[in-house]
Amino acid sequence: MNTISVVIADDQALVRAGLVALLELEPDICVVAQAGNGREAVAAVAAQNVDVALLDIEMPVLNGLDATQEIARGGSGTKCLIVTTFDRPGYLRRALDAGASGFVVKDTPADQLAEAIRRVHAGLRVIDPVLAEESLVAGSNPLTQREQDVLRESAQGGSAKHIAAALHLSPGTVRNHLSSAIGKTGVHNRSEAAARALRNGWI
């Protein structure tokens, strides 16, 4: 029996430990490393032979989406499977665009998670069916990269001047991006725009 080597990346130690305990019960899956953030996950993949990387999205230092992109670009052949609490439709599209082979939520039963790992390792794509349907209904992310950047800073409570300084833009350009984002999200102000973008996983 060929053993599938796995790296688990999650910033919550209890979640990591739980996933390790569940997966170690599978005779064909071996957890070879754990990581508390995306940067550690990328390093673990680079340091040893890893078949599948299980990545949370919201992690410090480097989030799961950016880590997925780095791993995909690294040429190691490691497959990335997003396992997250955040079942936002926009996250699914961003994960697939980053190079992920699968996307499941953390309340997925252990046997289904193990099967998802096997399928991803075999070169197949695994997507939570409910989230896939929600993603189709929600549509694609309407925001440009700059609009995403500006809304992300806005969600932290920054003023236009603060956002401009953080992104090396002029305050006028920031206001233009905010206005455009408000129009695209169909709301009345930048707070609502940021909230909707967050809810849909667009930022």
Strand partners, 7: 33, 53
Q: Per CATH, which fold does 145-200 belong to?
A: Arc Repressor Mutant, subunit A (1.10.10)
Residue 132: pLDDT band (50, 70, 90) is low
Per mean pLDDT, which of 90-94, 97-101, 133-137, 190-194 is the most reliable? 97-101
**Residue 85 vs residue 27, higher pLDDT:** 27
Q: How far apart are CA 23 and CA 37, in angstroms?
A: 20
| Six token digits for residue 50 | 């890893």
- The answer to whether 4-138 and 145-200 have equal CATH topology is no
Give the mean pLDDT of 77-100: 86
Domain spans, the chain = 4-138, 145-200
Q: Per CATH, which fold does 4-138 belong to?
A: Rossmann fold (3.40.50)
Residue pair 32/123 in contact (Cβ under 8 Å)? The answer is: no
pLDDT-wise least confident of 13-27, 95-109, 133-147, 180-194: 133-147
DSSP character string of 49-74: --SEEEE-SS-SSS-HHHHHHHHHHH
Q: How far apart are CA 173 and CA 161, in angstroms?
A: 10
pTM score over 0.75 = no
Type of residue found at 180: S
pLDDT-wise least confident of 2-16, 29-43, 179-193: 179-193
pLDDT attached to residue 130: 72
Q: What is the pLDDT of residues 28-70, one digit of tens each?
A: 999 999 999 999 999 999 999 999 999 999 999 999 999 999 9
Angle in degrees, 0-180, between the axes of helices 38-47 and 64-74, rounded to the nearest 10: 20
30 backbone φψ class: left, alpha, beta (φ>0; ψ -120 to 50) = beta
Give the mean pLDDT of 160-178: 91
CA distances from 89 to 83, 97, 108, 116, 127 (A): 14, 13, 17, 19, 11
CB atoms within 10 A of CB 80: 28
Average pLDDT of every residue of the chain = 89
pLDDT attached to residue 135: 62
Give me the percent of the chain exceeding a pLDDT of 70: 94
CA distances from 200 to 55, 121, 136, 194 (A): 19, 29, 12, 10
